[in-house]
Amino acid sequence: MTLSPWHNTLFSDGWRAGTGAPLDVVAPATGAVIDTVAQADAADLDRAVTSATAAQKAWAKAPYAVRAAVMLKASQLLEADPGRLTNVLIPESGSGRGKADFEAGLVISELQEAAALASHPYGELLRSVKDRTSIARRVPLGVVGVISPFNFPAILSMRSVAPALALGNAVILKPDPRTSISGGLALAALFEEAGLPQGVLHVLPGGGELGAALVTHPGVPCISFTGSTPAGRKIGEAAAPLLKRVHLELGGNNAMLVLPDADVQAAASVGAWGSFLHQGQICMTTGRHLVHRSQAEEYIAALTEKARGIPVGDPEEGMPLGPVIDEKQRDRVHGYVTAAVEHGATLAVGGEYEGLFYRPTVLTDVASDNPAWAEEIFGPVAPIQIYDDVDEAIDVINASEYGLSVSIITSNPYAAYELCDRIESGAVHINDATVDDEAVIPFGGSKASGVGGRFGGPRANLDTFTETQWVTMQSRVERYPF
């Protein structure tokens, strides 16, 4: 076995990566083994927790400027050479070049915001009925466990790792085993070069068994998880008896509402981006298209044409859409498409694959009880439903168990804004796609799309990655009757 250079050159201290069985990192586009890393086991996790607990104390006591400098240096290193991340993202996660560049930019922004977060006010002066100073201040949680997914592996790791570190925590990061490098080891290499002290960040490659051990480890008081809703429910159930702080950013079945006054061609462009970007493997992917009957024929034709014209192939050869992550996911996607047709939907385009390359797919005549409408597909599939009344359409949007992101396309943005009060969703984007994120906003969903906190922006990050401590001071010792 040849261990990954990420292990040999960057993690020679023995606790930052695994010491267990080899794990092949495979390019889904070609099936080629990109590298081999060593998986972590329960013993590696115990060592990591012990090391992180010890290192966190000094890191938390360091002046905020020290933590800010590490975040800023990491952002500068990546900005100067984004290829250190994009050149891994493309083969490892099947990212198109544009998606990889976009993701690297998000990571840079996240690091820059984390640098500013380190100096952000971290408390408030409270009123008191006593003659004293009363303060609520934010203190680090200690060790934060981060479990991240395969689809946007770098940013969905970094949006928890960077703010947690900036606020004085240590972090144990378990990336998806399919993206161990871009979701973990490459990020650790960036931080190491930026001057992050040894022991503050641990990257442990491994699968579900390791993730379960991290969730229940008594030395990890906080878990930040991004992934599917079923997995999130299991994590919440496992962590509840331990009274752990758990932040769950979960799935979505996001709707795009095309209002009767919308520019149909523009709407089809937004819909194609929302449904097909990164092969639909995004929690914010547009999984439901609601189009008014007066525009349905034109919209279906326009979206179908866009789906037909998008090249699919190896992203290392410049194709904008690459492969789905593995055979299991491909078969899951195709199962939804097949079931949709069996339940009465019409296949307008797509529904075909070669290897892991699944063609952009448009389904029409999709009823609300069709599995392709009711459930998250996580693939390049655009189900369309026709509506006659906006009130009816909003009821359809809200009927989903998910509440992550909604898009409204219209020529009257203010009228669309007035609909937001009636829409059950963590985000509503007027005249933009359901897929959107920025480091400065408190990102998260409602209902089955998330619980426990938000990611992004100073206030949300302080709420998510610190604990509140109440401190009082008075000049004289208080007198009591006994």
Q: What is the pLDDT of residue 1?
A: 27
Please check whether residue 110 is in contact with residue 66, taking contact to mean a CB–CB distance below 8 angstroms: no
* Dihedral sign, Cα of residue 327, residue 328, residue 333, residue 335: positive
Q: What is the per-residue pLDDT across 162-177, written as a single tens digit (0 to 9) for each?
A: 999 999 999 999 999 9
In tens digits, what is the pLDDT along the chain, a chain of 482 residues?
233 444 433 343 433 456 778 899 999 999 999 999 999 999 999 999 999 999 999 999 999 999 999 999 999 999 999 999 999 999 999 999 999 999 999 999 999 999 999 999 999 999 999 999 999 999 999 999 999 999 999 999 999 999 999 999 999 999 999 999 999 999 999 999 999 999 999 999 999 999 999 999 999 999 999 999 999 999 999 999 999 999 999 999 999 999 999 999 999 999 999 999 999 999 999 999 999 999 999 999 999 999 999 999 999 999 999 999 999 999 999 999 999 999 999 999 999 999 999 999 999 999 999 999 999 999 999 999 999 999 999 999 999 999 999 999 999 999 999 999 999 999 999 999 999 999 999 999 999 999 988 999 999 999 999 999 999 999 999 999 99
Decide the pairing of beta strands 143-147 and 450-451.
Answer: unpaired
Name 146's bridge partners: 173, 224
Q: How far apart are CA 143 and CA 137, in angstroms?
A: 18
420 is catalytic: no
> How far is residue 277 from each of residues 26, 101, 115, measured CA to CA in Å?
21, 13, 30
Please check whether residue 423 is in contact with residue 390, taking contact to mean a CB–CB distance below 8 angstroms: no
Q: What percent of the chain has pLDDT over 90?
A: 95
Q: What is the pLDDT of residue 21?
A: 84
Please check whether residue 370 is in contact with residue 344, taking contact to mean a CB–CB distance below 8 angstroms: yes
DSSP H helix total and E strand total for the chain: 16, 22
With CA atoms as reference, report the closest residue to 312 among 270, 286, 282, 276: 276
Cα Rg, the chain, nearest whole Å? 24
Q: What is the per-residue pLDDT across 221-266, written as a single tens digit (0 to 9) for each?
A: 999 999 999 999 999 999 999 999 999 999 999 999 999 999 999 9
Q: What is the DSSP letter of 359?
A: P
Q: What is the per-residue pLDDT across 130-159, written as a single tens digit (0 to 9) for each?
A: 999 999 999 999 999 999 999 999 999 999
283 is catalytic: yes
Q: Select which of 103, 110, 113, 249 is catalytic.
A: 249
Q: What is the pLDDT of residue 310?
A: 97
Q: Select which of 283, 354, 401, 478 is catalytic.
A: 283
Helix residue ranges, H only, 118-259: 153-166, 186-194, 208-216, 229-239
Q: What is the pLDDT of residue 17?
A: 58
Burial class of 230 by CB neighbour count within 10 A (0 to 12, 13 to 18, 19+): exposed
Q: How far apart are CA 340 and CA 384, in angstroms?
A: 11
Decide the pairing of beta strands 33-38 and 22-26.
Answer: antiparallel
